[in-house]
Structure formats: structure tokens, C-alpha cells
Amino acid sequence: LPLAPGPVTGGTIKGDPAAGIVPVRELIEANRRDEDIPMAEPIPGETAAPSAPDESIPNAEPIPGETHLQLPSQATPSIPPSAFSPVPVPQHETRVAILGYHDFSRTLPATEMRMNTDTFRAQMQALKTAGVPIITMKDFLDWKLGDKQLPKCVLITIDDGWKSVYTDAYPILREMKIPFTVFPYTKFITGRGSAMSREQIQEMLNNGATLGSHSVSHLYPRSWRAAQRKGTQAVLDLAAKEIGESRKILQERFPGSDVEAYCYPGGFVLPEMITKAEEAGFRAAFTVIPRKVTKDTDRWRIHRYMVFGKDPKTFTRAVNFNTPSAPETPRSRRP
């Protein structure tokens, strides 16, 4: 990825403090038990209630001989490059770990949605040092929906459209030549405050990034529930506006971008959303259920590991390929 101009600084963006937020960690744990329970995550500018440390999620301590990355005190681990292989395997043997990030900062305290920039650098360096294959969104979709073969590998995604993606994460990814997908929601592409501008996103696209959609407005689950109470057609109409229109807007603002992937805000999924995502021309949609993706994973409920700024164990679990993924079930694969 070629070099880019220097970073652009910005201010802050205000949210609606009256909006109720369910702690993200609690809902991720709920999703591990029952994939029908929706995720919720803070919209940029919102403040989620703090949650207690989750002792129910395994710490993924190393097992002798297994492929395992650790980040003690943000240090980059030393892992033999032979631990990972770039050689493709039969499609049904491939597992993909999709990492999801949000906001970054070198100076502000880490939160669930905000990661320290140096920690992010350490994680990316760990992948590079270990020789972990890092694929593009096109690679992923060609494997998931076509005949392409891949090794066990990682896909990097970043949600919302925070300006820090451009000022903090992008320089690191560009320097290390790591491909990534950015999922902005269209109303946040303003260039004001903490939001990325159209020009900043276009620069990243010109230098190896892929564009996906994160909806128009990043609605809370309660907005979808309110539509449900009005009936199926109301949900379909809202999905057409939030999902279908988002792809049209992005394609108009960024000519030449295919915009083939959709990312559900908060991982909240309804059947009507899937219907409208497919009608809009998306090829797959992404949730926040922490699990490896296999060839059999429902393409409209693609798993992702959301890497929290205060929980490096998520990254460790995501890149541990020696612990078998939980088997797919009819519930998790139904449309």
C-alpha cells in the first residue's frame, strides 16, 4: 500500500446519552449461548454502561504445540513463521478468523469500542511476524461463495467510520501492507468532528482498502422492534431504507466500489434485513458472533470477533486456530 499524506486531526461528535445501551460483552456472551439473541453496540458518541470482567469466556491459555498468539504488555510475540502456512487447503478445511475493530487513540483511555493505537500495532505486527495469511474481502467472498481455496487466515474489518481509522489504523495497515475492509454508515461520512470524510475514505480505497456498508443510520435494535410492532411491511420498508439505500449511496459517493458486504449494526439480524440485503445486491452480511467462519457458515450471518480495546484475550482467541470451532447448527445457519 503506497504512502499517504499525513494524518488529519479532528474533534468529537456528540451522541444521545438518553439512549439505553446493553453492555456489548454481556450480549456477546449471550450470543455464545443462543445466536437468536441480538447484539447491541454503542453508536459513535454513545457511552455504554461498564460491564464486569467476564470470567465465563476462556482465557485461551497456550497448549503445547498449538498455534497461539499472545500480546503480553503489548509486546509482539515471537512465533515461528512455520506455524502458519500460505498453502490453500480444501474449501471445507478452511477456517477464517474475522477481526472487527471500531475506534483508535494514542491518548484517550481504551474502552470496549476504542483501542489504544500501539496495541493495535502490536496485534498487526503479531500477525505479520507469525506469517498469518491476511486476506482481502474479495478473497473471502470468492472462497465463501465460489471455488477459491484459502489457507487458515484472517480478515480485518473496521466499523462505523471514525476519523481515527484514517489517522491511526490506516498508517499502520498501509505500512505493513495489510488489506482491510471499512464499514462506515453513510450518515457518519461527514468529515466533521470524529467522522471520516469522503476524501479520506477514498484515499484508503485507492490504496488497497475495501468498502462495505454499515447501514444509513446505525439504528438501535429498539428501532427495529418498533417497526416489528407495526408489521412485516414496516420492517421491510425500514430495511430497504437502511440497507438497500446505503449501498446506493456508497456506490454514488465512491464510484467503482462494488460494496458487496454488509455489516449489521450491533449484529442485530431480522429475516427482513436479509431479504433486503440480498435484493440490494450484497453478497454476504456480517454479525458479531465470535467464531471462526467455515464454508458452511450462513453467508447472511458471517461470524466476527469484535476486538475490544480493554480485552486483548479476544484477539488471542480469534487467532488460535488449533481449538476447534463450535459446530454450525440449523439455528445458526437458517436465513
Q: How far apart are CA 122 and CA 128, in angstroms?
A: 10
Per-residue pLDDT tens for 213-264? Answer: 999 999 999 999 999 999 999 999 999 999 999 999 999 999 999 999 999 9
Q: Could you tell me if 138 and 284 are in contact, meaning their C-beta atoms sit under 8 angstroms apart?
A: no
Chain center to CA of 43: 14
pLDDT score recorded for residue 34: 30
Strands (E), 75-200: 96-101, 103-105, 114-116, 134-135, 153-160, 181-184
Average pLDDT for residues 146-155, to the nearest whole number? Answer: 95
Is the pLDDT score of 334 beyond 50? no
Is the pLDDT score of 139 beyond 80? yes
Instruction: Give this prediction's pTM.
Output: 0.77
Question: What are residue 89's DSSP bridge partners?
Answer: 150
Per-residue pLDDT tens for 155-179? Answer: 999 999 999 999 999 999 999 999 9
Q: How far apart are CA 260 and CA 141, in angstroms?
A: 9
**Structure-block grid coordinates of residue 324:** 476447534
Worst-scoring range by mean pLDDT, 55-64, 185-194, 306-315? 55-64
Per-residue pLDDT tens for 70-105? Answer: 443 444 444 445 568 889 999 999 999 999 999 999
What residues have CB less than 8 Å from 270, skipping those under 6 apart?
A: 224, 228, 235, 239
